[in-house]
């Protein structure tokens, strides 16, 4: 019998891996992929709660989250391409023009 | 039977997510992330969310990750570039903080705050009508306004991406 706790712990592990990836990687595209992983982990817990609480709202929220993620990926990757065109790199240590 | 499938798929998804973090080549990273998303789609089917599983495969593993692969191949990244100038002493504290975050989530999970109010959409009821039909009904009645706002959001995102990709603003 799979319980809700199984899914929430799996979702927590995936979310934690995404956070660690954002913190230790220096490539902007891979940081972006780790953000997608975190979104996926949260979606999994949404659907798990929806299933175990006999509700439909979780699945609808996942639907909207996916739309927002698609929009975010399009705009974010366009920004990364624009940055690469200006600086010839996507290493976030070199993209510090707005830092100081 | 289902529990074995859950454990197999969960293990694959965690291992591929770990590879996503520690693998050097961006193309391999994208392929590992696709594997993780396919595993999550299998879990959605285990959770009786067939429509969401299909959308996960088509939109996430299909469209978004192909976009990532396009950009990776367009930029022609140098793999060795990343190690140069990496902040020292960042990896170990980052992993430590990640473990701390996981422990915090587990502590919240152990406190008995989680159970909520049960709704009316039981598995038998949803299966008698059809998962996609129930979602479609809700989207076009109770959730019509968020649905329309979503279409505006996608429109704005498309215009924004085109504007950013123009050579001269």
A95 in a structural domain: no
Instruction: Say if the Cβ atoms of A49 and B116 lie within 8 Å.
Output: yes
What ipTM goes with this model?
0.91
A10 in a structural domain: yes
Residues 61-100 of A with CB under 8 A from B: 62-64, 66-75, 77-82, 84, 89-91, 93-94
Instruction: Say if the Cβ atoms of B118 and A55 lie within 8 Å.
Output: yes
Domain count within chain A? 1
Instruction: Say if the Cβ atoms of B68 and A73 lie within 8 Å.
Output: yes
A52 in a structural domain: yes
Q: Please, which pLDDT band fits residue A87 given cuts at 50, 70 and 90?
A: confident
Whether the pLDDT of residue B16 is over 70: the answer is: yes
Which of B24, B32, B49 is the best substitution to test chain A (most A C-beta atoms within 10 A)? B49
Instruction: Say if the Cβ atoms of B117 and A53 lie within 8 Å.
Output: yes
Containing domain of residue A9, as a range?
Answer: 4-87
HEC secondary structure over A37-85: HHHHHHHHHHHHHHHHCCCCHHHHHHHHHHHHHHHHHHHHHHHHHHHHH
A96 in a structural domain: no
The pLDDT of residue B126: 81
Look up the CATH number of the domain holding residue A63: 1.10.287.3510
User: What contacts 24+ positions apart, CB below 8 Å, involve A21-24?
Assistant: A21/B20, A21/B21, A23/B90, A23/B94, A23/B97, A23/B98, A24/B21, A24/B90, A24/B91, A24/B94, A24/B95
Whether the pLDDT of residue B153 is over 60: the answer is: yes
A66 in a structural domain: yes
Per residue in A10-69, pLDDT (tens digit) is 999 999 999 999 988 888 899 999 999 999 999 999 999 999 888 888 899 999 999 999
How big is chain A, counted in residues?
A: 100
Instruction: Say if the Cβ atoms of B160 and A78 lie within 8 Å.
Output: yes
Give the nearest chain A residue to B139 (CA atoms).
A60
A99 in a structural domain: no
Which of B6, B9, B13 is the best substitution to test chain A (most A C-beta atoms within 10 A)? B13
Per residue in B131-149, pLDDT (tens digit) is 899 999 999 999 999 999 9
Chain A contact set for B84 (CB, 8 A): 91
**Hey, what CATH topology would domain B1-78 get?**
1.20.120
Which of A32, A73, A79, A92 is the best substitution to test chain B (most B C-beta atoms within 10 A)? A73
B26, B91, B135 member nearest A56 (Cβ): B135
The pLDDT of residue B81: 55
A55 in a structural domain: yes
A100 in a structural domain: no
B3, B18, B139 member nearest A17 (Cβ): B18
């Amino acid at each position: 019998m799979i319980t809700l706790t199984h899914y929430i712990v799996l979702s927590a592990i995936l979310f934690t891996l995404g956070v660690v990836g954002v913190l230790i990687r220096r490539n902007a595209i891979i940081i972006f992929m780790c953000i997608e992983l975190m979104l996926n982990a949260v979606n999994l817990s949404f659907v798990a709660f929806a299933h175990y609480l006999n509700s439909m709202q979780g699945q609808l929220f996942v639907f909207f989250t996916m739309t927002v993620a698609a929009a975010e990926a399009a705009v974010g990757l366009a920004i990364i391409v624009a940055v690469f065109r200006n600086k010839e790199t996507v290493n976030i240590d070199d993209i510090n023009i707005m830092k100081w | 039977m289902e529990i074995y499938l859950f454990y197999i798929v969960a293990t694959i998804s965690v291992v591929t997510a770990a590879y996503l973090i520690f693998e050097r080549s961006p193309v391999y990273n994208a392929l590992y992330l696709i594997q993780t998303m396919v595993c999550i789609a299998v879990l959605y089917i285990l959770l009786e969310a067939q429509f969401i599983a299909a959308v996960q495969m088509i939109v996430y593993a299909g469209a978004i990750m192909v976009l990532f692969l396009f950009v990776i191949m367009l930029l022609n990244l140098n793999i060795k570039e990343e190690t140069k100038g990496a902040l020292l002493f960042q990896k170990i504290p980052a992993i430590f903080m990640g473990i701390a975050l996981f422990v915090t989530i587990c502590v919240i999970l152990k406190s008995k705050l989680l159970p909520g109010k049960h709704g009316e959409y039981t598995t038998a009821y949803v299966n008698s009508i059809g998962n996609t039909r129930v979602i479609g009904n809700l989207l076009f009645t109770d959730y019509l306004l968020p649905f329309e706002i979503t279409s505006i959001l996608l429109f704005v995102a498309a215009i924004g991406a085109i504007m950013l990709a123009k050579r001269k603003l």
